Amino acid sequence: MSGLMEAIGFGLASGAVLSIGSVGLTVQFGVSGVFNLAYGSLLTVSAFIGYWLVEQGLNLWVAMVVVSVATGVLSLMLNRGIYVPLQRRGASPLTLIVATLYVATFIQYLVALIAGDQQVSFALQAGSERSFIGFRLTTLQIEFIALAVALMLAFHLLLTATKLGRALRATAGNRTLARACGIRTARVVDFTWLVTGMMCGAAGLALAATTVAFDFNLGSLFLFYMVAALLLGGAGHPYGAMLGAIVIGVSSQVAAFYGNPQLSDVVAFGIMVVILLVRPRGIFSHSGATSGLEA
């Protein structure tokens, strides 16, 4: 029983970190209409930049701030330099997805060229273990859970209690109508890519820091889990992505506890397939919603 509780605790910790990236990915899609497969490559970039900064003696949390800002700027540059021009030329959603796939491949192998294909590790001290309601978590895991909760709360307040949040929802719902109402939709989209890129940076560093070892394939692996969480919650539904990430994190770790650790990938894939077959729009999406940002 204690082993099962440990697996659930680890699943909660990994799910909390996954939720940061999952929310960023679904909000990015909801506002801009671009399903960005290069998101995983940015996770890899942030992991290696964070690793290098920590190796230079920088504190992990200071490194996370630097990495988040750098990844946010890179995310904004990719959108403004590649995806926005394609959208202006009338590119179809499929064309945009293919473009993000090529960008992802280019970034992934550029990282491999610079950093090499060997695995690296942060070699951080996880800290002492603490028991909470039967769960056993390390200090580092608790800190990352607290970070995820703080970021999710901040995002909730931004979305529901600010003028910018209303502009985000309006732009996601109908960009043409929002522009006609005086909302500077281009700036809203820029802000979205900057903030979601920062969330991607924080998630990438946190995932790498809690992984035994990682290489240039890190982002591709965790993007798989984030897409599963996004589909479970419903595209464009940030709260659904939060809960979906927790479900994916816990279920994959429990499956690994009861069987082969490779079962975690099978569970995530299985959940994705079942949701696509039973409820393609996701559990938390409204029946008529196919895109946009739902609050």
Over residues 11-35, the pLDDT tens digits come to 888 889 999 999 999 999 989 989 9
Centre a 10 Å sphere on the Cβ of residue 90 and count the other Cβ atoms it contains: 7
Q: Which residues, 6 or more positions from 6, have their beta carbon under 8 angstroms from its beta carbon?
A: 135, 136
Asked if 228 contacts 285 with a C-beta cutoff of 8 angstroms, the reply is no
H or E stretch at 132: strand 129-132
Architecture (CATH level 2) of domain 2-117+139-278: Orthogonal Bundle (1.10)
Spatial distance between the Cα atoms of 55 and 228, rounded to a whole number of angstroms? 33
Position 89: which residue type? R
pLDDT for the residue numbered 130: 65
Asked if 176 contacts 121 with a C-beta cutoff of 8 angstroms, the reply is no
Q: Which residues, 6 or more positions from 235, have their beta carbon under 8 angstroms from its beta carbon?
A: 26, 29, 30, 35, 281, 282, 285, 290, 291
Tokens matching residue 208 = 């790498």
pLDDT for the residue numbered 150: 92
pLDDT in tens, the chain (295 residues): 566 777 777 788 888 999 999 999 999 998 998 999 999 999 999 999 999 999 898 999 999 999 999 999 999 999 999 999 999 999 999 999 999 999 999 999 999 999 888 888 886 655 556 666 666 777 888 888 899 999 989 988 988 889 988 998 898 888 888 888 889 999 999 999 999 999 999 999 999 988 878 999 998 888 988 988 888 887 778 888 888 888 888 888 777 777 666 666 777 777 777 777 777 777 766 544 444 565 5
Asked if 264 contacts 181 with a C-beta cutoff of 8 angstroms, the reply is no
Of the candidates 12, 37, 278, the one whose C-alpha atom is nearest the C-alpha of residue 135 is 12
- Give the C-alpha distances (Å, rounded to integers) separating 41 from 101, 124, 211, 219, 295: 10, 23, 17, 5, 28
CA angle 42-45-46, nearest 5°?
90
Asked if 172 contacts 292 with a C-beta cutoff of 8 angstroms, the reply is yes
- Bridge partners, 135 (sequence order): 132
Dihedrals phi, psi of 52, to nearest 5 degrees: -65, -40
**Count H helices, E strands: the chain?**
12, 2
Q: Which residues, 6 or more positions from 191, have their beta carbon under 8 angstroms from its beta carbon?
A: 164, 168
Spatial distance between the Cα atoms of 133 and 7, rounded to a whole number of angstroms? 14
Q: Which residues, 6 or more positions from 96, have their beta carbon under 8 angstroms from its beta carbon?
A: 33, 34, 35, 83, 86, 87
What tens digit of pLDDT does each residue of 253-286 get? 777 777 666 666 777 777 777 777 777 777 766 5
- Under DSSP, the state recorded for 79 is I
pLDDT for the residue numbered 244: 86
pLDDT for the residue numbered 294: 58
Spatial distance between the Cα atoms of 2 and 282, rounded to a whole number of angstroms? 33
